[in-house]
Amino acid sequence: MKPNIQSKLSIHLLFWILYYILEVYLDFYWSRYQFPEFRWQLRLQNSLFLELGYFMVKIPLAYSLLYVYEKLNINKLLKYILCIIIFIIAVLAHRFFTHYIIYPHIYGVIETLDGKQPSGFINGLVAFNSFMDLIFMVGLIFGIEITRQKNLLKDQISKLKSEKLDQELTMLKAQINPHFLFNTLNNIYGMALKKADETPDVILQLSKIMRYNIYEAAEKSISVEKDIENIKDFIQIQKIRHRHLTVNFHENIDHPTQEISPLILIQFVENAFKHGVSESLGNTFISIDIKLKNGILEYCIENSKEERPNGNSTKIGLKNIRRQLELIYPGHMLIVEDKSDRYIVKLTIDFNDPFSI
């Protein structure tokens, strides 16, 4: 059985059980004044049996109206007319059961209007009483069903949004890995041309990084400790190529196993190398400061760059990063300062934020 159908059956079954208990209680309480000569055991027995009888009218009425309202594909006016006809038939059935079965066979008396005057099968007051009894039940069952459907729709929309976000994040990450691999292979190619002794070490470092990108980055989240280790491996590769580079790396982590989305932090380091160090002449520097305290991550990267009044290369890749942060950590704070001689990025992520993925 499908979960949705099972959930619907469970909710409706619970509704009818609670509704039956309520109706038995109300009838038992009413019969206390209407038939004071009856013992409470007899009154309770009568209430239990007569409400079961009423269910033979109420349950078909409820699901006939729900079927017409939800499933029947006809003109709205015809729906309204059909619902009215069904309701009139139900009122007549309700009156028949009350007048010809309940009073003479359960209570053993003739139905009366005021305790003295006999009531006919149909008149204004008794018909109104039957109408109110049925309309109360219909209102409850429709309220339950509409609420259930709204919650189901909300869950489906939430699931679709989640799937869409996962697909978008996967696509964004796929844009990162080839870009990173291309840049690193270019570095190794340059070293190989120079027959540098460090080439095997760099290949080994690349192997570790690619293992991270293929396996670790496929996960929804990893530990901050692993993410920082990947950044350090990346820096080691770049330092071998950039001989005049000064790298200052500071970390202060109070919770190394804190989960974080992979490939977020390293993108800022990649940008610092590609659009800062690689495009600068002479001595260059990169300063990385990462601090995690009480579930709040503060991440700052500062790198040197050449003064290029009309340059905009530093903006490349930021759009991708910003979009990922919006999807995963909507409460983040990202500050980008593009100065004449340096580029500064400050990122703050609150892992305690309930809206983070």
209 and 328 fall within a common domain: yes
The token duo for 201 is 């070490």
145 and 9 fall within a common domain: yes
Model pLDDT, residue 244: 76
Model pLDDT, residue 120: 64
Alpha helices in the chain, H assignment, sequence order? 3-34, 40-70, 76-97, 124-193, 199-214, 224-241, 265-272, 318-328
What one-character DSSP code corresponds to residue 99?
I
Residue 237 lies in a domain: yes
Residue 129 lies in a domain: yes
Give the residue numbers spanning the domain of 343.
196-350
The token duo for 40 is 């409470």
Residue 267 lies in a domain: yes
Model pLDDT, residue 309: 46
Please give the single-letter amino acid code of residue 41.
Q
105 and 214 fall within a common domain: no
Residue 168 lies in a domain: no
Q: Which residue in the block uniquely carries the two structure tokens 């008794």?
A: 126
Q: Which residues of the chain have pLDDT under 70?
A: 1-4, 111-121, 124, 160-180, 183, 241, 276, 278-282, 307-317, 355, 357
202 and 327 fall within a common domain: yes
Per the CB < 8 A criterion, the answer to whether 263 and 176 are in contact is: yes
84 and 219 fall within a common domain: no
Model pLDDT, residue 314: 45
Per the CB < 8 A criterion, the answer to whether 338 and 312 are in contact is: no
Model pLDDT, residue 71: 82
73 and 147 fall within a common domain: yes
Give the strand pairing for 333-338 and 342-350.
antiparallel
225 and 341 fall within a common domain: yes
Residue 172 lies in a domain: no
Residue 43 lies in a domain: yes
CATH of the domain at 248: 3.30.565.10
200 and 328 fall within a common domain: yes
223 and 335 fall within a common domain: yes
Q: How many domains is the chain built from?
A: 2
Model pLDDT, residue 313: 47
The answer, as to whether pTM is greater than 0.75, is: no
115: left (phi over 0), alpha (psi -120 to 50) or beta: left
How many C-beta neighbours within 10 Å does residue 174 have?
10
Residue 166 lies in a domain: no
Model pLDDT, residue 46: 82
